[in-house]
């Protein structure tokens, strides 16, 4: 589901040293900050919602959002899309390039909100966290499915860093529904995270993780609300926002995924991490290939690279660990493909 722009106003060895030097050199040559260390055992760096975030949020212009719809709304693709049918030419499912920017290298900033017990307990399983998965994805060949759309090699170019904050969301005065985050709340969090990292544009993607028991509404009728199916429209979304002419930010919103309506059937053999990881890969890979909703998508349906395959998932080894995640669409084979089926 694609919604385009709208304005919101109101509501140490020598070898190690050598590798580090090479990494810094390549990052400098490519014009991006040096990649942070990918160590899932490191604590998330805390930051506070800055006072000026409220004004920035009200003045922000969102270029658009693209939603991962609920399982009840997902329509299964024809079975032919699932196979690796390399002899198909000009498949109607293929993505078309519409001229917008793509992302060649960026840090994923996991922004954990209201999680005192740590990401492994809030959004993961045992030692597997959102950062573990993104680190595995970055080091795997699976992320190279985006190469054909960006024109560059993605492997090793999307490291992960972790942030944490606390936020207060609107309470239902009747007590029937849980706290609900608004799009302005998300903007306040994202803006404050950018003030902490000083990374914006196409060099950072901010994934805002909302804790279990928190709803999120873009507007009155467009929500992540497992408690209220009348407004339960999406499970997650990605988008981009302009806080000023010079402050452009890419972000995704990752509500708690281990709920009826967001899991792929039979998805969680490893626990909560599977639902988390599958949606996170969906949003990151779509951000890479279509950050502003004007780059790569299917011209007939508006579907992006992950939408075409979100009904297909299986247990896959991604670098060091196993996850039950969805497939991604490849124009190269005109079909959905998984980590172990890359051409």
Checking DSSP bridges between strand 160-165 and strand 107-113, what pairing results, if any?
A: parallel
pLDDT given for residue 74 in this prediction: 66
pLDDT given for residue 24 in this prediction: 34
pLDDT given for residue 3 in this prediction: 60
The continuous run of DSSP H or E covering 187 comes out as: helix 183-197
| Spatial distance between the Cα atoms of 19 and 21, rounded to a whole number of angstroms | 5
pLDDT given for residue 340 in this prediction: 66
pLDDT given for residue 78 in this prediction: 44
Residue 69, classed as helix, strand or coil, is strand
pLDDT given for residue 308 in this prediction: 87
pLDDT given for residue 148 in this prediction: 97
pLDDT given for residue 80 in this prediction: 40
Q: What is the pTM of this model?
A: 0.86
Q: What are the residue ranges in the chain where pLDDT is below 70?
A: 1-42, 74-90, 340-343
Alpha-carbon distances of 203 from 59, 166, 339, rounded to whole Å: 23, 24, 25
pLDDT given for residue 95 in this prediction: 97
For the segment 76-125, what is each residue's pLDDT rounded down to a tens digit?
444 444 443 444 456 789 999 999 999 999 999 999 999 999 999 999 99
pLDDT given for residue 73 in this prediction: 74
Report yes or no: 20 and 28 within 8 Å, Cβ to Cβ. Answer: no
């Amino acid at each position: 589901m694609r919604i385009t722009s709208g304005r919101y106003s109101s509501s140490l060895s020598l070898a190690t040293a050598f590798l580090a030097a090479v990494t810094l050199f390549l990052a400098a040559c490519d014009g991006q900050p040096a990649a942070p260390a990918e160590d899932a055992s490191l604590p998330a760096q805390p930051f506070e919602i800055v006072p000026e975030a409220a004004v920035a949020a009200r003045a922000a212009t969102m270029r658009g959002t693209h939603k991962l719809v609920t399982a009840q709304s997902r329509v299964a693709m024809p079975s032919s899309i699932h196979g690796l049918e390399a002899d198909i030419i000009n498949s109607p499912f293929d993505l078309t390039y519409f001229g917008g920017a793509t992302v060649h290298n960026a840090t994923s900033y996991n922004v954990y909100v209201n999680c005192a017990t740590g990401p492994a307990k809030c959004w993961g399983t045992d030692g597997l966290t959102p950062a573990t998965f993104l680190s595995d994805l970055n080091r795997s060949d699976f992320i190279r499915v985006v190469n054909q759309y960006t024109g560059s090699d993605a492997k090793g170019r999307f490291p992960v860093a972790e942030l944490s904050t606390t936020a207060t969301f609107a309470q239902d005065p009747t007590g029937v529904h849980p706290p609900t985050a608004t799009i302005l709340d998300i903007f306040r969090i994202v803006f404050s995270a950018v003030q902490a990292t000083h990374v914006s544009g196409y060099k950072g993607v901010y994934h805002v993780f909302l804790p279990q028991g928190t709803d999120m509404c873009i507007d009155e009728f467009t929500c992540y609300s497992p408690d209220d199916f009348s407004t339960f429209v999406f499970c997650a979304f990605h988008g981009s926002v302009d806080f000023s002419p010079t402050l452009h930010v890419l972000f995704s919103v990752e509500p708690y995924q281990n709920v009826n309506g967001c899991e792929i059937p039979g998805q969680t053999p490893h626990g909560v991490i599977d639902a988390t990881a599958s949606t996170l890969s969906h949003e990151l890979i779509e951000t890479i290939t279509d950050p502003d909703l004007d780059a790569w998508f299917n011209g007939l349906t508006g579907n992006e690279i992950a939408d075409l395959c979100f009904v297909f998932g299986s247990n896959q080894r991604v670098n060091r660990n196993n996850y039950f995640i969805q497939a991604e669409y490849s124009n190269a084979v005109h079909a959905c493909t998984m980590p172990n089926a890359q051409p």
